[in-house]
Amino acid sequence: MGFMENLKGQVGAALGNLATQHGGMAASAMALINEHPGGLSGLVQTFEAQGLGGVVSSWVGTGTNQPITAAQIQQVLGNEKLQAFATQHGIDVNQVSTQLATLLPQLVDQLTPHGTVPPAAAAPATPGS
């Protein structure tokens, strides 16, 4: 098995564990990452542009993930995107922001197991794609 296939398998297993823990929210958060302009790399750049480069770098890196607040999630992702996410899950924007503040660090960490953002072509697709 090649390196990329092995990496995809490891990431897929980790994402499966998150999906079990967080239900449909994990799959939706993965779709949010994939649909973000530039995918995971673009999302990381958006966090950096919003002054949260240190936080998102900790998620990408191999050390401990720094926490993020629901307000910071709202700052980065914007109300329109969060409102659509909230509607999809039948909860309010504040609940979505709080859940994404827990889930996004874990997802980004799992998508970057070697401490670097993989090329877009190597990123796993959302479940069911």
Lowest mean pLDDT across 8-17, 42-51, 65-74, 88-97: 8-17
Q: How far is residue 43's CA from residue 41's CA, in Å, rounded to a whole number?
A: 5
Which CATH class for the 3-112 domain? Answer: mainly alpha
Instruction: Give per-residue pLDDT as tens, 2-40.
Output: 444 544 454 455 455 554 444 678 889 999 999 999 999
CA 126 – CA 107 distance, rounded (Å) = 12
Half-sphere exposure (CA, 13 Å, Cβ side) for 101?
A: 16
Q: For residues 74 and 82, what is the distance between their CA atoms, to the nearest angstrom?
A: 7
